[in-house]
Amino acid sequence: MSSPPSQTTTFFIDRCLGKKLATVLRAQGHTVELHDSHFAKDAKDVDWLPAVGQRGWVVLTKDERIAKRFLERLAVTSAGVKMFVLVSQNLSGTDTAAAFTKAIPTMQQFLQAHPAPFIAKVYQDGGISPWKDDQTLLNELNSPPQ
C-alpha cells in the first residue's frame, strides 16, 4: 500500500523581495516561483494576485500596502490568496532570507490552521501573527468602504 502524496507548498516570491530569498529557499528544498518568471515586471498587484491565488501558491512579500489598499485586498479575497508579509523593512537580502527561513515551520502550521484568504505578518525573528483573516477579508468584500 502506498502512502498518500505529500502536499507541497509552492512559495511565490513577490518582485519586491528580489532573488536571494528564492535561492535560499530552493537550496533548502522548497518549491519557489518568482514573480518575473510569470508576470511582467510592471504588473499591477491586482493583476497577478488572482493568478497566484488560483494556482494555490503562497505569496511571500514585504509590500505592506497590499493589505492596506482596498482593491488589492479585494483581489486577495476573491482569489483565496494566502499571503505572508515581512513587516520588518530595510533588511538586507540576507536578513530577509533569514527571517523567512526562520518563519517557514510556523508558516506551514499557519497554513494548516487558517483557511484562505488571509494576510499574515512575518517578523525579523521569524515570528508570525495574523493580520487579516478570512472572515475579516470576506466581511470587507461584502461591505466595501463608502
Q: 112: domain CATH number? A: 3.40.50
Q: What is the pLDDT of residues 113-135, one digit of tens each?
A: 999 999 999 999 999 999 999 88
Number of independent structural domains in the chain: 1
pLDDT band at 137 (very low <50, low <70, confident <90, very high): confident
| 45 part of a folded domain | yes
Q: Is residue 74 part of a domain?
A: yes
- Is residue 2 situated within a structural domain? no
Is 18 within the bounds of a domain? yes
Q: Is residue 5 part of a domain?
A: no
Whose cell is 515581512? That residue is 86
For residue 8, what pLDDT is reported?
83
Tell me: pLDDT of 32 over 80.
yes
What is the pTM (predicted TM-score) of this model? 0.90
Order of strands across the sheet that contains 31-34: 31-34, 10-13, 58-61, 82-86, 118-122, 128-132
Q: Hey, what's the cell of 97?
A: 532570507
Mean pLDDT is lowest, of 63-72, 94-103, 135-144, for 135-144
Residue 145 lies in a domain: no
Q: What is the pLDDT of residues 44-92, one digit of tens each?
A: 999 999 999 999 999 999 999 898 898 999 999 999 999 999 998 788 8
Let me know if residue 70 belongs to a domain. yes
pLDDT, residue 140, reads 79
How far, rounded to the nearest angstrom, does the alpha carbon of residue 96 sit from its chain's CA centroid?
14
Residue range(s) defining the domain that contains residue 113:
10-132
- DSSP letters of 44-106? -HHHHHHHHHHHTPEEEE--THHHHSHHHHHHHHHTT-EEEEE---S--HHHHHHHHHHHHHH
For residue 139, being part of any structural domain is answered with: no
